[in-house]
Every structure is written in C-alpha cells, then in structure tokens.
C-alpha cells in the first residue's frame, strides 16, 4: 500500500510540473502571436487570407518531413572509455567435492542449488575489452540437517560469498553483444555446520548482453568456478557452476545527435503535421484551445474548468497544510507532515517506538533486555539480576557435559524466573580452565552450554528465548596457575540479550 501511494504521489507531482511548464510556454507563444497580429496592416491581412487558403489546401496532404521520426537503425554498439554498473541474480551450483570448511571433519556436502545475488563494476578502455570486479553472495543448505546430530547447531544454512576480478572480451555488435571472461576470485562459505573458510579460485565463462537503450542492457552469464577439491581426483579441482541474469547500466557513452524537431509554426508543442490550428498556440492534443481558466490543465481533464487550480485535477489548494505533499498522496491533509504519507513524525521520545504503541511516549525506553518493546524506562528486577554472570551451583561430571543432580535446584530457580518474566532472553556461555587440549576444551564448553539450554527447553522455556555458545578456555576470570583459579574459570554464565 505504501509503495502504491508513493508511486501515485510521484506521478501526480510529475504531471503537475509538466503541464505547468507547457502552459507557461503556451502563454509566452500566445503573447508573441497576438503581438504580431496587432502589428499587421490591412494590406497584409488580404495577403494573409490568401496564404491561409493555400495552407488549408496543403494541410490535407501534410506528412512528417524526413528526419522528424526518431530512428535507432544503428543499434547501440559498445564503445571505449565507458563504465558499466550492474546488478544480478541467479543460481549457484556448489560442487559436492568442495574443500571449504574450517574443520576438515565438518566439510559437509551442500545441496546442489543456492540462490545468488550480487553487483558488478567494469571499465572498458576499448570497445572490445574491459576489466570487471564483482561481489556475490548466495544462500544455500547442507544436504544433511545436522541439527539432529549436534545439539549446538541452530541451522543447516550456508552463506556463500565471492570477491572477483576478471578480464572481459566482447564482440562490439549493435544488437546482441557476446562476450567471454576469465579471472581469479576468493570463494568462501560461512555456516554453523562447516565454519568459515575461503579459498583462492579461478573462474571463466561467457554470455550475452542485449542493449535496449543507450544506458540499459540485459545481461546473461554462465560461469564455471574452479577451486580446491577435498580429494586427489581430477588434479584436486572442484567445479561449481553459476547461471546469472542481470541489468547493466552504461555510463559515459558519446551518444548520438537527436533528430531534428518537427516543424511547429505556432510554438505550441504540437507539430504542424498534427496541428489543426497551426497558427494558433494551444496545449490541446489537436493544437487548438481551450483551457478556459488558464491553469495549464485542459478543459476535458479539468475538474474545475472555470477556477484556476493545480495539476493534475485542475482544482485549487491541493496542499492545504503547506507541507509540499499534494493530495491524494497526503494522508494527513490538515496537519503538516513529512514524506511519504504527509503525516507528522510520531516518536516524541526518539526511542524507536512510535507514540501510538509507546506506553511512555515522552520517556525513552531503556534497552536492557527487559520489556524493551513497551517504550518505558525500567530496571532489570533483582531476581533476574541474580541469574546474570557466572551462575553458582551448576556443575558437571569431570570432562563431560552431564549435568549433576545437585544443579537442579539452581536450574529450577532459573526456570521460575524466566517464566515470570517472559520478555527476558538469555545467552548461556560455557567456560573451561586451560587443562587439556584447547580444541577439546572448546567442544566441551559448547556441549555444556547446550546441555543447560536443553534442560531449560525441557522445562517449558521457549527455544527462541535461549541461545548457547562455548568459549573454551579463551575467557578466563582468574589465573589457571592454581586450582582455585581453575575452579573459577570452569563456569556457566548467563547474559541477558537486548532486543
């Protein structure tokens, strides 16, 4: 609805501006015409009458003079020293034998299709050759949903990305421009199942550009990406394909000379070959008056033909509140406002919550994770504060993620608080001391945090309210040189998340 109103508003303003300009030019032409008429002598009038008879006979057989019709017979051939900017979308087909992933054992095969978007910028010093840079990102999935295997995974989504540079060689034809390209890129992924990784890759491809104006072209590409393979087959090369469709904007064309304008004797904007009254300035479609009130809106389109008004309806006072937003776009016509709907800003305290839903419209919301959507300042309740930071009383079997029964009293108290305050969201973080291997400690901390989260979920706390992560031994609060310090470092922490 908002998009429709914005387009309607833009159309109204453009139409108003265009008709007003046409009327200004018509008025100026009309004054000049009447001035000439006043200076004509009686003798000249007879000659003029004779001339009008000849003009009337000629009008029946008038045709557009050669060159009046714009022609584009030459098409739009590529030029040198131009820039091209483009947007594209399409499909990315990742190889099943990829070597992307931060941990080799977690390099899961991907589903065969991912949806891709991106942008490009190119410079063509020559009409047949240029250099181009691109960025793309694609949304995919692993073939297996590992959430059933690993409790710490929230999603099997995979985000692909690439930064590319390549040379483009094209055939400078006017209507369809074939091209080939080749270059290097950094191709990577980021996901929970496989981690974050990027490899150097090579890519080649080709396609077509179809210009439909001096600026705009439709472009289709097919790409082959060659990157590292996780086994020794085919010289350790994996192949991932792309099919792209996009829009290209060409900047810096030399352009062509515009066609000569058709003859317009009375300067009213209607060519003589279409003007029923070629010697009388007017703004109607056949070149004749009327515009009774002289407001630039022709009588057939004027809702108020005897009252000077404004486009597009021809009636006065389309902006009663003087906020420069005209009816029908202005949804608050008696109250000055701002684009796009003409209504005033309604967030008095500037906290991002509009006044109609803000329970404290003159006091800003305190963003602390507790009732952050009501618009009022507040403090975290004391019983909630008890469950922030390191939580005493949550313990595990040594070297395992098994929660001991002695922890249940603390966890039940946490459940009671979370149920009492349903707006609270928690991040549960597991920490370990530096004893043991770093990778083992990181995995152990993740599993312990996930175990606490699952305990809360099993006791009717919504999954969307609790997330977990493992920090391993990377965030100590005390020295690891003593047993007392290591005991403090082995902990579970709760953190309230802000909305």
What are the tens digits of pLDDT across the range 407-453? 989 999 889 988 988 888 889 999 999 998 999 999 999 999 999 99
DSSP β-ladder status, 195-211 and 157-170: unpaired
Residue 148 pLDDT: 56
Full residue range of the structural domain in which residue 300 is found: 264-313
Mean pLDDT, the chain cut into blocks of 10 residues (499 residues total): 41 40 41 36 39 39 40 73 96 82 62 91 96 94 66 73 95 95 92 79 95 94 88 70 96 72 77 74 62 74 74 73 78 78 72 70 66 67 81 89 90 90 89 91 92 93 92 91 90 85
- Tell me: do 226 and 301 sit in the same domain: no
**415 and 462 Cβ atoms separated by less than 8 Å:** no
What are the tens digits of pLDDT across the range 457-498? 999 999 998 999 999 999 998 999 998 898 888 999 998 887
Domain count, the chain: 3
- Tell me: do 303 and 437 sit in the same domain: no
Q: What is the CATH number of the domain that holds 394?
A: 3.30.1330.60
Q: What is the DSSP letter of 274?
A: T
Give this prediction's pTM.
Answer: 0.39
CA 356 from centre of chain: 28
Rounded CA gap, 389 and 381, in Å? 15
Examine residue 58 and state whether it is found in any structural domain, yes or no.
no
- Tell me: do 232 and 268 sit in the same domain: no
Examine residue 225 and state whether it is found in any structural domain, yes or no.
yes
List the beta bridge partners of residue 157.
141
Examine residue 302 and state whether it is found in any structural domain, yes or no.
yes
Residue 431 pLDDT: 93
Rounded CA gap, 264 and 271, in Å? 5
What are the tens digits of pLDDT across the range 26-85? 344 444 333 333 333 333 433 434 434 434 443 333 344 443 344 444 688 999 999 999
What are the tokens at 29?
């032409």
**189 and 197 Cβ atoms separated by less than 8 Å:** yes
- Tell me: do 394 and 488 sit in the same domain: yes
Rounded CA gap, 474 and 395, in Å? 19
Examine residue 256 and state whether it is found in any structural domain, yes or no.
no
Examine residue 36 and state whether it is found in any structural domain, yes or no.
no
Residue 491 pLDDT: 92
- Tell me: do 224 and 280 sit in the same domain: no
H or E, element range at 27: helix 2-39
- Tell me: do 285 and 237 sit in the same domain: no
- Tell me: do 268 and 398 sit in the same domain: no
Examine residue 2 and state whether it is found in any structural domain, yes or no.
no
Residue 208 pLDDT: 96
């Amino acid at each position: 609805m908002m998009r429709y109103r914005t387009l309607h508003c833009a159309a109204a303003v453009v139409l108003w501006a265009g008709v007003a300009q046409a009327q200004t030019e018509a008025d100026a032409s009309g004054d000049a015409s009447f001035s000439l008429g006043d200076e004509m002598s009686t003798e000249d009038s007879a000659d003029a009458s004779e001339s009008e008879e000849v003009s009337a006979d000629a009008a029946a057989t008038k045709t557009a003079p050669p060159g009046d019709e714009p022609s584009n017979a030459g098409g739009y051939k590529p030029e040198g020293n131009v820039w091209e900017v483009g947007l594209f979308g399409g499909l990315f087909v990742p190889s099943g034998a990829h070597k992307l992933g931060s941990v080799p054992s977690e390099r899961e095969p991907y589903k065969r299709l991912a949806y891709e978007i991106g942008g490009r910028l190119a410079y063509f010093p020559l009409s047949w050759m240029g250099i181009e840079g691109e960025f793309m990102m694609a949304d995919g999935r692993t073939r297996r949903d590992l959430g059933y295997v690993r409790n710490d995974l929230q999603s099997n989504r995979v985000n692909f990305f690439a930064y590319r540079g390549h040379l483009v060689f094209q055939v400078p034809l006017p209507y369809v421009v074939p091209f080939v390209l080749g270059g290097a890129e950094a191709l990577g992924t980021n996901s929970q199942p496989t981690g974050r990784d990027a490899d150097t890759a090579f890519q080649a491809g080709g396609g077509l550009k179809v210009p439909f104006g001096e600026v705009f072209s439709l472009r289709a590409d097919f790409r082959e990406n060659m990157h590292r393979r996780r086994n020794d087959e085919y010289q350790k090369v994996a192949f991932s394909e792309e099919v792209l469709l996009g829009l290209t904007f060409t900047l810096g064309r030399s352009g062509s000379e515009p066609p000569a304008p058709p003859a317009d004797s009375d300067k009213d904007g209607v060519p003589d070959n279409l003007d029923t009254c070629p010697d009388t300035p007017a703004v109607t479609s056949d070149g004749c008056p009327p515009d009774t009130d002289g407001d630039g809106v022709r009588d057939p389109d004027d809702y108020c033909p005897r009252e000077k008004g404004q486009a597009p309806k021809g009636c006065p006072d389309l902006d009663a509140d003087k906020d420069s937003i005209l009816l029908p776009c202005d949804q608050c016509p008696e109250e000055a406002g701002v684009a796009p709907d003409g209504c005033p800003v309604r967030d008095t305290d500037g906290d991002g919550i509009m006044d109609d839903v803000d329970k404290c419209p003159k006091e800003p919301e305190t963003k602390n994770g507790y009732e952050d959507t009501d618009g009022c300042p507040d403090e975290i309740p004391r019983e909630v504060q008890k469950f922030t930071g390191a939580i005493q009383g949550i313990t595990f079997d040594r070297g395992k993620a098994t929660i001991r029964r002695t922890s249940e009293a603390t966890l039940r108290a946490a459940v009671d608080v979370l149920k009492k305050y349903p707006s609270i969201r928690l991040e549960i973080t597991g920490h370990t001391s530096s004893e043991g291997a770093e990778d083992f400690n990181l995995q152990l901390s993740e599993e312990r945090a996930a175990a606490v989260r699952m305990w809360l979920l099993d006791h009717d706390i919504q999954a969307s309210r609790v997330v977990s992560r493992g920090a391993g031994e990377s965030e100590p609060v005390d020295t690891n040189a003593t047993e007392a310090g290591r005991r403090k470092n082995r902990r579970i922490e709760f953190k309230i998340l802000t909305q």
